[in-house]
C-alpha cells in the first residue's frame, strides 16, 4: 500500500483504521469503543479497553521468545560504561522496583516524580510506575529547585525518585541539594524519596525521608502488572506555557501504546531485530516515546546514551556509538549535528568508523536548516529525514514515512502529514491558505491516538490553549505553509513571524539564507521592535571553528544575500557575530528571550537554559553594537 492510500484511509475511516492498529498490541480486554467523547466533550480513544504498558514493553516479549534478546544498551562515555539488559533482566529489575514503590503505598492512579540523569534506573523507574498503573512525571535532571517545586505541587507525587548526581561533560552536578531545596519550597510533601547513589557523588540521606535505592531493592518483592483502563494516564510531562505556569501534558495508556507500535514501524521503518537510538533525554518527550516506550513495546533494542555530541570525548562520539552497537536508525536534533559540524566541518571523524549498519537519520526538535541537512546527507550517504512533532502529540505529525515508502525529500520541509493527522494551514480568518502562503499550522480535531487528551487537572486550559483559536482544530502554535505537492514547511513558532512595515516575514526563511554562508556554523534571526517599521530582523551568527572573517564584510555579504533572495522589504541590515547562542538543554535556541533582551523587556530566566551566562554576553554585544530599542536611546 502506498503512502497516499494509507493516509486517505486513516482520514476517511479513522475508527476502522485505528481499530486495526489496536489489534497489533495485546489487551487484557479489547476496547468497547474505538472513539468516543468524555464528559468534557474531549475525544478519547479505546474506552473500555484494559491493558498494561509495562507488560507490553517487557513481559510480553519474555513470554514470546525474546527473553534473552537485548532490550536496552546503556552507553555512557562520561563514565566510560557500557551495560546491556535483556528483556528478562529488565523485566526483573522493573518488577522489583515496582515492588519497592508498592511497599511505599504507591497504587494505580498515584503520581511519582522522577528526577534522574540518563541512566538505566530512570527507565526502570518509569516502567515500574507503568507496571503498577501509577502516573510518572519525569522532570529533567538538574532542573532548578523552583521549577521542580512547581511540578511537585502540580503533580502531587506520593514518592520522588532521584539520583545522587548527573554529569555534564566532565562536571559532576549533585542532585540531592537541588531536590531538597525544591521539596522545602513546595507546598506538597512526598511521603518518601528514593535515591540512587552514584559512585562519583554520594548524597547525604535524611533519616525517615530518604531511602537508598540499592537497599530497598534488596528487600523488595517483585510486583505483578496491574491492568488499567486505556484512558488511564500513563504519564504527565510538563512543557512551558505562556503564563509562566508549565502545562501538564497527559498521555494515556491505550492510545499511546498503539501509536508507539504503529509509529516505530511505519514512520521510522524499524524492524523487530533492529537497534534504534534516539540521542535525547528521558526528561523530554523524545526520551519517553523513543528511548523507552516505542522501541520496547516493539521488541526493538534501544540505546540509552549519557553524553553529548561533542567533548565526550570528541565530536566523533556519535559515530563511535553507531559503529559499536550497530545502530540502524538514529534520531537526534539538528543542533547536535551543528555542534559536530562546527568542530569537524570536513567530517573527518566520521571516516574513522564503520557506519554501514546505519539506514536512516531522523531530525526533529527544531527546524533543520538546509546547510546542516546537506552536510549530513553528503557525509553519511543515507536518507536524512526532517520530521515535526511536539510534546503534545507524543509522536510525529509530519514525516517521510520510511516504513511505508520513502517519498522524494525536499530540504527545508518536514514532508507530508503522518497517517491520522489532518494537517491544514489557516489564515487569521480561519480559511485555508493557498499553496506557499504562510499561516498557522493546525490539525483537524479529533487528534489520532497517542496525542494529549487534556491537560493534567486543567481541562479548561486545554480548551483555551489548543482548541479555541480555530473551531474544530488543534492549534500547534507553529506557522508555515504547504506547497503545491502538499509538503509542509514549518517555519517556526507563530510569534517568530515578524511584521516589517505591514509585511509578514518568516525569520526561519532568513535563517536558511544566513546559515548557507560558508563561514556560518549556526544562527538565529530575531524580529526586534523598531519605532518606524514595527519590527526589523537582526541576525546573530556563530562562526565555524577556525574561520576568521571581517565582521563588517560578513555582515555586508549576508545583507546582500537576504536582499537578493527575499528583497529589500525584509529590511535585514544587521548581522552580529557572537561566540554562542542561548539554548535549552534539548538544543532549542531561545529566540523569544533574545527578542526580550533587544527590546529591553523583563523576563524570567528559563529553567531549561544550558548556560545563563550566554544571555549577558549577548546583551553586552547588542549594547556595544547599539542594536535594539533598549540600547539605541
How many CB atoms within 10 Å of residue 354?
A: 11
What is residue 146's DSSP assignment? H
The grid cell for 311 is 567533548
Q: What is the largest CA-CA distance in the chain?
A: 72
pLDDT confidence of residue 366 = 81
Scan for cell 569537524, then name that residue. Answer: 344
Q: For residue 148, which of 206, 108, 193 has the smallest C-alpha distance? A: 193
Query: What is the pLDDT, as a whole number, of residue 392?
Result: 96
Which has more pLDDT, 449 or 496? 449
Of 29 and 569, the one with more pLDDT: 29
Nearest to 120 by CA among 263, 251, 291: 291
| pLDDT (0 to 100) of residue 133 | 98
CA dihedral 488, 490, 494, 495 (to 10 degrees): -160
Report the C-alpha gap between 380 and 630 in whole angstroms: 45
pLDDT of residue 497: 75
Q: What is the mean pLDDT of residues 207-211?
A: 94
d(CA 479, CA 433): 12
Buried (b) or exposed (e) across 81-92, using 16+ Cβ within 10 A? eeeebbbbbbbe
Is 444 in a helix, a strand, or coil?
Answer: strand
Q: Are 126 and 292 in contact (CB under 8 A)?
A: yes
State the cell numbers at 104.
511505599
Confidence of residue 532 (pLDDT cuts 50, 70, 90): confident
Res. 325: pLDDT tops 90: yes
For position 244, what pLDDT does the model report? 57
Cα–Cα nearest to 378, from 400, 410, 330, 346:
346
- Domain positions in the chain: 3-307+387-480, 501-624
Q: Does residue 605 surpass a pLDDT of 90?
A: no
- Our measurement of the distance from residue 599's CA atom to the centroid of its chain's CA atoms, rounded to an integer in Å, reads 29
Q: How far apart are CA 175 and CA 434, in angstroms?
A: 51
pLDDT of residue 609 exceeding 80:
no
CA distances from 348 to 336, 340, 413, 518, 546 (A): 16, 11, 28, 18, 15
Between 619 and 395, the more confident residue is: 395
What is the reported pLDDT for 603?
Answer: 79
pLDDT of residue 169: 87
Instruction: Take residue 390 and report the three cell numbers written for it.
Output: 511536539
Residues 443 and 476: beta-carbon distance below 8 Å: yes
Q: 501-624 in CATH: which number?
A: 3.30.300.30
Beta-carbon contacts of 548 under 8 Å, excluding residues fewer than 6 positions away, are none
C-alpha span between 428 and 470 (Å, rounded): 9
Nearest 5°: the CA angle 619, 620, 621 is: 90
What is the distance between the alpha carbons of residues 404 and 421, in angstroms, rounded to a whole number?
Answer: 16
pLDDT of residue 530 exceeding 90: no
For 98, residues 6+ apart whose C-beta sits below 8 A from its C-beta are 54, 128, 129, 131, 132, 222, 223
Question: Residue 152 in contact with residue 251, Cβ under 8 Å?
Answer: no
The string of pLDDT tens digits covering residues 218-275 is 999 999 999 999 999 999 999 865 555 789 999 999 999 999 999 999 999 999 999 9
Give the number of C-alpha atoms closer than 13 A to the C-alpha of residue 487, restricted to the C-beta side.
17
63 torsion bin: left (phi>0), alpha (psi -120 to 50), beta (else): alpha
Domains 3-307+387-480 and 501-624 share a fold: no
For residue 123, pLDDT beyond 60:
yes
pLDDT top residue among 360 and 610: 360
Q: Which residue has the higher pLDDT, 583 or 5?
A: 5
288-316 confidence digits (pLDDT tens): 999 999 999 999 999 999 999 999 999 99
* Rounded distance between C-alpha atoms, residue 320 and residue 317, angstroms: 5
- In contact, 58 and 127? CB cutoff 8 Å: yes
Across the range 572-588, mean pLDDT stands at: 88
Please name the residue that has the C-alpha cell 491537560: 455
Query: Among residues 340, 432, 334, which one has the least CA distance to residue 387?
Result: 334
Mean pLDDT of the chain: 94
The pLDDT tens digits of the residues spanning 554-573 come to 999 999 999 888 888 889 99
DSSP 461-502: HHIIIIISSSTTEEEEEEEEEE-TTS-EEEEEEGGGEEEETT
Per-residue model confidence (pLDDT) at position 241: 58
pTM beyond 0.85, yes or no: yes
Strands, E assignment, 286-366: 301-305, 329-332, 360-363
- The answer, yes or no, to whether residue 191 has pLDDT greater than 60, is yes
Residues 3-307+387-480, CATH architecture: 3-Layer(aba) Sandwich (3.40)
Say what the pLDDT of residue 409 is.
Answer: 96
The pLDDT confidence band at residue 633, using thresholds 50, 70 and 90, is low
Average pLDDT over residues 625-633: 77
Length of the chain: 633
For the residues of 553-609, what is the DSSP string, one character each?
HHHHHHHHHHHHHT-GGG---EEEE-S---BBTTS-B-HHHHHHHHHT---PPPTTB
Amino acid at each position: 500500500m502506498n503512502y497516499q492510500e494509507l493516509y486517505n484511509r486513516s482520514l476517511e475511516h479513522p475508527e476502522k483504521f485505528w481499530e486495526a492498529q489496536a489489534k497489533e498490541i495485546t489487551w487484557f480486554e479489547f476496547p468497547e469503543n474505538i472513539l468516543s467523547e468524555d464528559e468534557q466533550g474531549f475525544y478519547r480513544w479505546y474506552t473500555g479497553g484494559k491493558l498494561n504498558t509495562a507488560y507490553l514493553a517487557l513481559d510480553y516479549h519474555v513470554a514470546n521468545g525474546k527473553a534473552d534478546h537485548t532490550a536496552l544498551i546503556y552507553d555512557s562515555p562520561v563514565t566510560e560504561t557500557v551495560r546491556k539488559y535483556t528483556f528478562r533482566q529488565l523485566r526483573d529489575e522493573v518488577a522489583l522496583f515496582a515492588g519497592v514503590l508498592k511497599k511505599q503505598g504507591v497504587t494505580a492512579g498515584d503520581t511519582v516524580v522522577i528526577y534522574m540523569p540518563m541512566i538505566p534506573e530512570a527507565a526502570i523507574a518509569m516502567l515500574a510506575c507503568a507496571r503498577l498503573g501509577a502516573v510518572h512525571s519525569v522532570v529533567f535532571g538538574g532542573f532548578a529547585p523552583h521549577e521542580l517545586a512547581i511540578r511537585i505541587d502540580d503533580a502531587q507525587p506520593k514518592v520522588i525518585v532521584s539520583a545522587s548526581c548527573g554529569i555534564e561533560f566532565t562536571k559532576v552536578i549533585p542532585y540531592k541539594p537541588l531536590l531538597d531545596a525544591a521539596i522545602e519550597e513546595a507546598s506538597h510533601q512526598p511521603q518518601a524519596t528514593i535515591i540512587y547513589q552514584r559512585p562519583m557523588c554520594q548524597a547525604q540521606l535524611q533519616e525517615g525521608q530518604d531511602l537508598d535505592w540499592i537497599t530497598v531493592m534488596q528487600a523488595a518483592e517483585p510486583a505483578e502488572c496491574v491492568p488499567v483502563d486505556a484512558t488511564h494516564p500513563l504519564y504527565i510531562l510538563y512543557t512551558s506555557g505562556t503564563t509562566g505556569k508549565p502545562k501538564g501534558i497527559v498521555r494515556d495508556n491505550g492510545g499511546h501504546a498503539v501509536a508507539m507500535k504503529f509509529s516505530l514501524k511505519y514512520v521510522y521503518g524499524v524492524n523487530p531485530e533492529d537497534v534504534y537510538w534516539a540521542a535525547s533525554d528521558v526528561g523530554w518527550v523524545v526520551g519517553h516515546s523513543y528511548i523507552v516506550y516505542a522501541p520496547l513495546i516493539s521488541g526493538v533494542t534501544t540505546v540509552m546514551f549519557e553524553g553529548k555530541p561533542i567533548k565526550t570525548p570528541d565530536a566523533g562520539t556519535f559515530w563511535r556509538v553507531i559503529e559499536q552497537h550497530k545502530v540502524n536508525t538514529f534520531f537526534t536534533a539538528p543542533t547536535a549535528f551543528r555542534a559536530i559540524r562546527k568542530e569537524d566541518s570536513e567530517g573527518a571523524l566520521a571516516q574513522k568508523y564503520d557506519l554501514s549498519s546505519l539506514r536512516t537519520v531522523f531530525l526533529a526538535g527544531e527546524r533543520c536548516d538546509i546547510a546542516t541537512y546537506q552536510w549530513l546527507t553528503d557525509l553519511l550517504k543515507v536518507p536524512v529525514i526532517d520530521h515535526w512533532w511536539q510534546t503534545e502529540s507524543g509522536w510525529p505529525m509530519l514525516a517521510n514515512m520510511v516504513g511505508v515508502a520513502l517519498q522524494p525529500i525536499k530540504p527545508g520541509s518536514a514532508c507530508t502529514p503522518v497517517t491520522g493527522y489532518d494537517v491544514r494551514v489557516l489564515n487569521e480568518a480561519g480559511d485555508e491558505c493557498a499553496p506557499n502562503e504562510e499561516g498557522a499550522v493546525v490539525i483537524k480535531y479529533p487528534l489520532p491516538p497517542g496525542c494529549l487528551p487534556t491537560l493534567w487537572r486543567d481541562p479548561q486550559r486545554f480548551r483555551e490553549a489548543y482548541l479555541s483559536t480555530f473551531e474544530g482544530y488543534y492549534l500547534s502554535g507553529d506557522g508555515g505553509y504547504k506547497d503545491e505537492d502538499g509538503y509542509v514547511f514549518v517555519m517556526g513558532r507563530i510569534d517568530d513571524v515578524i511584521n516589517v512595515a505591514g509585511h509578514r516575514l518568516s525569520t526561519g526563511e532568513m535563517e536558511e539564507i544566513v546559515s548557507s554562508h560558508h563561514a556560518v556554523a549556526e544562527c538565529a534571526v530575531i524580529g526586534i521592535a523598531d519605532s518606524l517599521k514595527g519590527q526589523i530582523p537582526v541576525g546573530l551568527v556563530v562562526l565555524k571553528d577556525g574561520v576568521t572573517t571581517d565582521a563588517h564584510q560578513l555582515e555586508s555579504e549576508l545583507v546582500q544575500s537576504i536582499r537578493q533572495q527575499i528583497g529589500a522589504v525584509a529590511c535585514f541590515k544587521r548581522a552580529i557575530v557572537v561566540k554562542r547562542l542561548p539554548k535549552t538543554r534539548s538544543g532549542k535556541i531561545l529566540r523569544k528571550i533574545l527578542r526580550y533582551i533587544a527590546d529591553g523587556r523583563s523576563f524570567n530566566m528559563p529553567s531549561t537554559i544550558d548556560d545563563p551566562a550566554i544571555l549577558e554576553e549577548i546583551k553586552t554585544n547588542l549594547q556595544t553594537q547599539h542594536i535594539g530599542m533598549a540600547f539605541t536611546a
